[in-house]
Amino acid sequence: MDDLYREVIIEHYKHPGYRGHLDPHDVQFADSNPLCGDHIEITLRTDHQGHVADARFDGRGCAISQASADLLMEAIIGKPIEEIKQLNRQDILDMLGIDLGPVRLKCALLSLKVLKAGVYGLGEASDSLVE
Amino acid sequence: MLDVNEIRKDFPIFQRETKPGTRLIYLDSTATSQKPLLVIEAMDAYYRRSNANIHRGVHMLAEEATSLYEEARVKIARFINAPSAHQVIYTRNTTESINLVAYSWARANLKSGDLVILTEMEHHSNLVPWQILQAERGIELGFIPVTEDGLLDLDEYKTLLSRGPKLVSFTHMSNVLGTINPAAEIIRLAHEAGAVTLVDAAQSVPHLKVDVQALGTDFLAFSAHKMCGPTGIGVLYGKMELLEAMPPFLGGGDMIKEVKLRSFRTNALPYKFEAGTPAIAEAVGFGAAVDYLSSLGMDAIAAHEHEITEYALERLEEIPGVNVFGPSAQHKGGVAAFTLDGVHPHDVAQILDQDGIAVRAGHHCAQPLHEKFGLPATSRASFYLYNTKEEVDLLVSGIYKVKELFG
Ligand SMILES: Cc1ncc(COP(=O)(O)O)c(C=O)c1O
């Protein structure tokens, strides 16, 4: 019906393909957006060549945050970790296929922020990871 | 009764569409109200005709600007029935007013172990200043609990009072639950226990008749922008003896009587607390806003909001999956914070926005209150003098649309 809630977003929100938690895992990170209570945890398994063998997200929040996490997991499986480190804001917006205002952008970028903090092995997820 | 259709014509913003063919349904006045033309024009006229710095000048414009600035103070004093305009201190907003008390009165009067009573329904602006003081001074914080139905637990309050608090600081009306707290009773009990009182009136002064003398409060704080006035200006009202005894807050021009290289003498009230060039045009706008509200009558405004709120609660509660927080309309101002099962409040607000309906989503600067109810966030519709039942109907159909999309 409208742009922001394109079918793909509602679909990934309602029926996520990559919701869950990998155990054992090689990378794990979680963070939340205190403004709206969105929360995302990501777990990854990597293979010998440094590629993502499998990826899952868990958490709660708005459709934008949860759908972007699901789309992101789908996109990174099979990709080299080095490539994941290069992902940026525009990649997420391209996946979602929408434009977002400053408030909702935070929702959309939470999963990327968590993912990058995880693959970089950082102690804390900072906004500068997704500038 | 208010003639809402006439009132809406006073607000230029209601002529705008959010996109072609979609009119603005503004249900976010708890965050900030819209401004009537008269306020915008008063500020515009000030800048076009009278702009000058106030007080020290002797030229015509300086005199005129000073008069306008001070006339507004008198109007505001009358609006809250303050005994004197000298007790009306201009600040930037409610938050700064509360901080003024925390920095000046509290630092001069509170020591380690002293108890400050707050409530669980406070806005962050009436929590954080006291938490800062807790870390700095070792004061203790006690909280009047909020019951399941969104009211203050006054029995628990009485128990807290038996511990001899120095200050009771509480919101007159919750910006989330809408609860109108029994301020006069809370203040009377606090005084009996020997405590000073501060009322966060950010949500009450815009919507109810507030009489500081009838309440008997020691301090009261509110913002112009929530009552048809501009942003950037608010008020701290205080009892004369307290204000006179308080040390200055910010130092600089205007707040002094005399300055030597190594010393100064403070100015009289209210200037003692108004350091630096203030928000002059905003004060003029604030005065115009108070004139506007007075001309309509606060009782009529409150009655209109009550009617809309009652209707909104009734309609919202009919929607399966909608849960409205806070007390029944009888104890409540024009606020309806709600959740919709299975849909995040951000999504609710965003989808409503597509139809021009402005509601807020989040924790509304009351994170501890949301945690108490186990919620990260809610959607909040709020009503003011210019809102109509028809707008409530549009909100309700909007929520049905959200349900359909996520169904
Ligand atoms: C109950 C309450 N207290 C304090 C404030 C803070 O007001 P301001 O942001 O104007 O300082 C608000 C505004 O949202 C409020 O609703």
pLDDT in the model for residue B210: 98
Answer whether residue A3 shows pLDDT above 70. no
pLDDT tens, residue by residue, B184-237: 999 999 999 999 999 999 999 999 999 999 999 999 999 999 999 999 999 999
How many CB atoms within 10 Å of residue B43? 20
Answer yes or no: do A1 and B405 touch at CB < 8 A. yes
- pLDDT on residue B254: 86
Residue B200 CA: nearest ligand 1 atom is 3
Give the three-class secondary structure for A12: helix
Beta strands in chain A (DSSP E): 27-33, 38-46, 52-60
Tell whether omega for the bond before A16 is within 30 degrees of 0, i.e. cis.
no
User: pLDDT class for B402, splitting at 50, 70, 90?
Assistant: very high
Token pair for residue B200?
């966060």
Average pLDDT on A75-92 reads 94
> Do B79 and B178 sit in the same domain of this protein?
yes
Residue B228 annotated to the active site: no
Among B275, B295, B315, where does a domain finish?
B295
Between the alpha carbon of residue B20 and those of residues A2, A3, A4, A90, B26, the distances in Å are 15, 16, 18, 29, 16
Beta-carbon separation of A62 and B363 below 8 A? no
Looking at B295, B324, B359, the residue that finishes a domain is: B295
Domain end (from B237, B272, B295): B295
pLDDT at residue A128, as a whole number: 81
Q: Examine residue B177 and state whether it is found in any structural domain, yes or no.
A: yes
The predicted-structure confidence for B154-182, as pLDDT tens digits, reads as follows 999 999 999 999 999 999 999 999 999 99
A16 touches chain B (CB under 8 A): no
Residues B308 and B238 placed together within one structural domain of the fold: no
pLDDT at position B331 over 80:
yes
Range of the domain at B384: 4-30+297-405
What pLDDT, in 10s, does the model give residues B364-398?
A: 899 899 989 888 889 999 999 999 999 999 999 99
B13, B365, B375, B396: the active-site residue: B365
Best to test chain A binding among B347, B360, B397 (most A CBs inside 10 Å) = B347
Quote the Cα angle for B298-B308-B35, to 5°: 55
pLDDT on residue A7: 83
> What does the pLDDT average to over A80-88?
94
Same domain, B152 and B23: no
Q: Does A35 touch chain B (CB under 8 A)?
A: yes
Ligand 1 nearest atom to the CA of residue B172, by list position = 1
Do residue B222 and residue B340 come from a single domain? Answer: no
Residues B329 and B273 in one domain: no
Half-sphere exposure of B330 (CA within 13 A, CB side): 3
Task: Write the CATH number for B201.
Answer: 3.40.640.10
Report the mean per-residue pLDDT for chain A: 90
Report the alpha-carbon distance of residue B176 to residue B122 in Å, rounded: 9
Per-residue pLDDT tens digits for B126-137 = 999 999 999 999
B194 & B335 share domain: no
Q: Are A35 and B351 in contact (CB < 8 Å)? A: no
Whether B228 maps to a domain, the answer reads yes
B179/B265 Cα distance (integer angstroms): 43
Give the three-state DSSP class for A75: helix
Which residue's CA lies nearest to atom 12 of ligand 1?
B202
pLDDT tens-digit series, residues B99-157: 999 999 999 999 999 999 999 999 999 999 999 999 999 999 999 999 999 999 999 99
Distance CA B131, CA B136 (A): 9
The domains found in chain A, sorted by start residue, are 2-120 (3.90.1010.10)
Consecutive H or E run containing B169: strand B167-171
For ligand 1, the distance from its centroid to the CA atom of residue B274, given in whole angstroms, is 20
Ligand 1, from B91, B93, B94, B369: best to mutate by most atoms within 8 Å of Cβ?
Answer: B94
What pairing do the DSSP bridges indicate for beta strands B17-19 and B264-266?
A: unpaired
Give A59's contacts in chain B (Cβ within 8 Å).
none
Task: Please give the tally of structural domains in chain B.
Answer: 2
Note whether A107 contacts B: Cβ–Cβ < 8 A.
yes
CATH code for the domain of B351: 3.90.1150.10
* A92 and A104 Cβ atoms separated by less than 8 Å: no
Distance B41 CA to ligand 1 centre (A): 25
Of B395, B336, B359, B386, which Cα lies nearest the Cα of B175?
B336
Place of tokens 């003024």: B100
Which candidate in A15, A35, A64, A66 is best for mutational testing of the B interface (most B CBs within 10 A)? A35
Quick check: A24 pLDDT over 70?
yes
Which is higher by pLDDT, A33 or B349?
B349
Same structural domain, B276 and B360 = no
Same domain for B65 and B188, yes or no, is yes
Which chain B residue is nearest to residue A13, measuring alpha carbons?
Answer: B406
Task: Tell me how far apart the alpha carbons of residues A93 and A69 are, in angstroms, rounded to a whole number.
Answer: 12
- Is residue A33 scored above 50 in pLDDT? yes
Interface TM-score (ipTM) > 0.90:
no
In a domain, B67, yes or no: yes
**B38-86 pLDDT, tens per residue?**
999 999 999 999 999 998 778 999 999 999 999 999 999 999 999 999 9
Residues B59 and B165 in one domain: yes
Q: How confident is the model at residue A1 (pLDDT cuts 50, 70, 90)?
A: very low
Residue B35, domain member (yes or no): no
Contact A36 B347 (CB under 8 A): no
Q: Please spell the DSSP secondary structure of B96-110, one letter per residue.
A: HHHHHIIIIIIHHH-
| Position A2 confidence tier, pLDDT thresholds 50, 70, 90 | low
User: CB-based contacts of B252: which residues, under 8 Å, 6+ apart?
Assistant: B275, B276
CA B399 – CA B364 distance, rounded (Å): 20
Side-chain half-sphere CA neighbours of A1 within 13 A = 12
Percent of chain A with pLDDT over 70: 97
